[in-house]
Amino acid sequence: MKKIIYSIPVIVFLYFLIYSVNKGCNYTKEINENKAQTVCKYIECQRRGKVTKSLMEYYVKDSLYITKYDRCPENYEDKINKFFVVDYSSKDPSKIIVDFSNEVTDTTAILNAGF
C-alpha cells in the first residue's frame, strides 16, 4: 500500500513533464507549419520575481496584437521600443517566435507592418 502512495506523486510528475514537453513542441510545430512573418515592437520587460516576460506589439491584418513572449533578451534595456522580425502562426497570430538578433531599421518595412 505504501508503494502505491509513494508512486502516485512520481506518476503525476511524469504526466505533467510529458504534457509540458508536448505542448512546447506543438506550439513550435504550429508556427512552422503556418508561418507568416511581420515586424513587432518590443514594448517592455515584465518582471515577476525571477521570471521575466517580453511584451511585444505587432499588427496582423490591421488588428493590433499585444502578446507576452518568452524571457527577456540579454541587454533588454537597449532593445525597448525597437523593432524585430517575428514569426507567427497564421491560424493563431498570438503564437509567436521573436528573433531578437534580427533588428528592423528599415522605415518602409516598419510602416508597411502597420506602425
pLDDT digits (tens, 9 = 90+) for 41-58: 999 999 888 889 999 999
* Model pLDDT for residues 93-113, shown as the tens digit of each residue: 989 999 889 899 999 999 998
- Report the pLDDT value the prediction gives residue 31, as an integer from 0 to 100: 84
Nearest to 30 by CA among 86, 110, 97, 84: 97
* Model pLDDT for residues 82-95, shown as the tens digit of each residue: 999 999 999 989 89
Q: Which residues contact 28 (CB under 8 A, 6 or more apart)?
A: 97
* Model pLDDT for residues 14-30, shown as the tens digit of each residue: 666 666 665 556 778 88
64 vs 10: CA distance, rounded Å: 43
The domains of the chain are located at: 34-112
- Report the pLDDT value the prediction gives residue 99, as an integer from 0 to 100: 87
